Structure 1
Amino acid sequence: MNPNEGSYPLLLMKSYWFLDREGGTCHALPHDQRILAERIKQLEGDKTAETPDWEYAVKCGFVKNRGEYLDLLHATALFLAADRIDEESKVDHPELILMVKMLDEIDTVINLLSERSVEWYRALNPEFSRKSEIPRGRKLRDLMRDGSDEALGEILDEIEQLTRRRSTLSMKVSAKAAEFLPNCSALAGGLVAARLAAEAGGIRALALMPGSAIQVLGARNALFCHLSTASPPPKHGLVYQYRGVHGSRKERRGKVARVLAAKLAIAAKIDYYRGESDPVFIEKAQETILNAGRSP
């Protein structure tokens, strides 16, 4: 006898986020947020999953009333959101972006303090100017320290310490970039790769960008000026910091930047989706970038 036609009822499994119902039997899940969150993930792509029904949850004994159902649903939703945020942060490595921002902030502080220190020193020594000849082998701060008072000397010491910390942080940023962006770092250097990711808003955002966008990433002001005043478009942004770009002849820089950005777009996708270095790609990409800088 065909079970779809005769006296035998067709037993269908119906799935909710809190239980399974098979025939007239309910198989409720425990009140564990982790288990319930995993169940919601499993049912997200399942078109046969049933719409949540608090009355049915009460009927099957999963909860005692509507209030308990909503409280458990709310707690599970919060747990699921936190879990997804945690997963996304592990993939996108926000610590790298924050390290780059910290590096930029330190640069700003060092530059500002240095300017103020020079002005202070000039007030103490009117004969001094920026064009004054500095003895060979001595830094400007060393020269200023000799003719400054105690307070200015302490500020100069702080600048020196900040400079050392900046160098240490820069090396750590490069190391992190080599870990999280191995292919981009191999092509453009760890610091440039990290700055590109920070400017893009994350590794995922960088991986979704085309080469044309990566080429001018970091040249926001020049791009807006081009759009508003019809001035020449920028040929490069942060990629200019790559030695192969700024070290090329002026007439070749645009091409090198374009080729580098195109290869970085591919490298970023490999870094994000595979998360590992691709030596074959790196070797071919480096050769292509090198050829772009050569005169025809």
Structure 2
Amino acid sequence: MHYLAVNPVGVFVFDEENKLVKFKYLGSNPEEAAGKLDKFEKGEIIPEIQELKNEFKDLNSEQPNKATDFLRENFRKIVIENKLFKTENELNQFLNSVLIAKSKLSISKIERRDKLIIQTISALNDLEKILNTISERLREWYGLHYPELDIRDHDKFASMVAEYGDRKNFNNFKNSMGMELREGDVKILQHYAKQYNELYEMRKEIEKYLEIVVKEEIPNLNAMLGSTLAARILALAGSLEKLAKMPSSSIQLLGAEKTLFKFLKGKEKSRPPRFGLLYLHPDISTNKRELQGKIARVLSSKLTLAARADFYSKKDMSKELLDDYKKKLDEILKANV
């Protein structure tokens, strides 16, 4: 019977008397060795082991076995005696390099889906600013030609400009005090308006994607806040881990840091802020001013539990959290009728 043992250096085969009968390096460099060691630890059969199995039909490759214990206790002696490395210093350098490479590999495979949410909401915020800027510019620019065009909706305004171009093409157009435009002027305006429309469609796609990824990755926060507000709270915290470790009072004030610092420095004579971004939650923004602080405290306490559930247990407790929150919200509202 032959026994297989694997470590960062390579693959060892020992006989019944613990004599090394075969050895194969895991790789010519630490990165390759780290990659193969990672695959082996996941239960995958690497080429070196498959070759040894073909060569030794009685090979016991189950881990651990008598060879793994023997190798662990006599590793350095075996390596030096069999001249697998010239010196112990060379062995140490190789082992350190493999372990560093394996650590980097492990870190790179850690899923950071919360970072995707943060980047998505940041992209959405950027698009919102860009669309507002383009819309204002388009209105001023096209207003030189047709100032009487009264369409409040930015998206509809851009679509109309892109479609009709010259004011004469609009339905019910009679006259205007605006300047005449040449064909080239109209074309560039239409192109500009089309760019707005394309960005607007992109925003809608990103919003749909955000709803999906937030519901999948942070279902409890999503249930309490909705996808957009949950993503913005997460972005302010920096990561789901940081949010899960925050006390409810810190979550309540996310987004109000500047006001809080001014108050602490004595620059603000008014009261300290009661909430930050949570003001956007309809239960807070639509209620009486004297109730907003109480509701924000209840909501933030539930958000603490939601964030911890999303980060640590990955358990969907949204129904339980939401029911409890609504119950406490009703108590606050009834007590102040």
Q: Using structure 2 for the length normalisation, give the TM-score.
A: 0.64
Contact 2:85 2:91 (C-alpha < 8 Å) held by counterparts: yes
Specify the alignment match of 1:282 in structure 2. 322
Displacement of 1:191 in angstroms is 1.6
Amino acid paired to 1:230: E
Choose the corresponding residue for 1:238, options 268, 274, 277. Answer: 277
- Over 3 Å counting, the alpha-carbon distance change for 1:117 and 1:291 in structure 2 is farther
**Matches for 1:200-279 after TM superposition, within 5 Å:** 200-228=237-265, 229-231=267-269, 232-278=271-317, 279=319
Which secondary structure does the structure 2 equivalent of 1:104 belong to?
helix
Displacement of 1:212 in angstroms is 1.0
Amino acid paired to 1:241: L
Which secondary structure does the structure 1 equivalent of 2:314 belong to?
coil
Question: Following the alignment from structure 1 to structure 2, what is the Cα–Cα distance between the partners of residues 82 and 255?
Answer: 47
Amino acid paired to 2:101: L
Choose the corresponding residue for 1:192, options 229, 235, 246. Answer: 229
Contact 2:284 2:296 (C-alpha < 8 Å) held by counterparts: yes
1:152-189 CA-partner distances (Å, limit 9, x unpaired)? 22212221221222122112212211111111111111
Question: Following the alignment from structure 1 to structure 2, what is the Cα–Cα distance between the partners of residues 191 and 276?
Answer: 21
Q: Using structure 1 for the length normalisation, give the TM-score.
A: 0.72
- Over 3 Å counting, the alpha-carbon distance change for 1:35 and 1:73 in structure 2 is farther
- Report the aligned-residue RMSD: 3.7
**Matches for 1:60-99 after TM superposition, within 5 Å:** 61=82, 63-65=84-86, 66-67=89-90, 69-87=92-110, 90=111, 92-99=113-120
Larger Rg computed on CA atoms: 2
Contact 1:96 1:176 (C-alpha < 8 Å) held by counterparts: yes
- Over 3 Å counting, the alpha-carbon distance change for 1:136 and 1:165 in structure 2 is closer
Amino acid paired to 1:204: E
Contact 1:92 1:202 (C-alpha < 8 Å) held by counterparts: no
Contact 1:255 1:293 (C-alpha < 8 Å) held by counterparts: no
Displacement of 1:248 in angstroms is 1.6
Q: Percent identity?
A: 23
Question: Following the alignment from structure 1 to structure 2, what is the Cα–Cα distance between the partners of residues 165 and 84?
Answer: 32
Choose the corresponding residue for 1:160, options 194, 197, 201. Answer: 197
Specify the alignment match of 1:3 in structure 2. none
Specify the alignment match of 1:110 in structure 2. 131
Contact 2:155 2:200 (C-alpha < 8 Å) held by counterparts: no
- Over 3 Å counting, the alpha-carbon distance change for 1:283 and 1:78 in structure 2 is same
Displacement of 1:123 in angstroms is 3.6
Question: Following the alignment from structure 2 to structure 1, what is the Cα–Cα distance between the partners of residues 144 and 202?
Answer: 29
Which secondary structure does the structure 2 equivalent of 1:205 belong to?
helix
1:43-76 CA-partner distances (Å, limit 9, x unpaired)? xxxxxxxxxxx97685365841333541342133
- Over 3 Å counting, the alpha-carbon distance change for 1:62 and 1:245 in structure 2 is farther
- Over 3 Å counting, the alpha-carbon distance change for 1:189 and 1:67 in structure 2 is same
Q: Does 1:171 align with 2:172?
A: no
Gaps of 5+ in 2: 1-6, 11-17, 27-32, 42-74, 168-180
Amino acid paired to 1:167: K
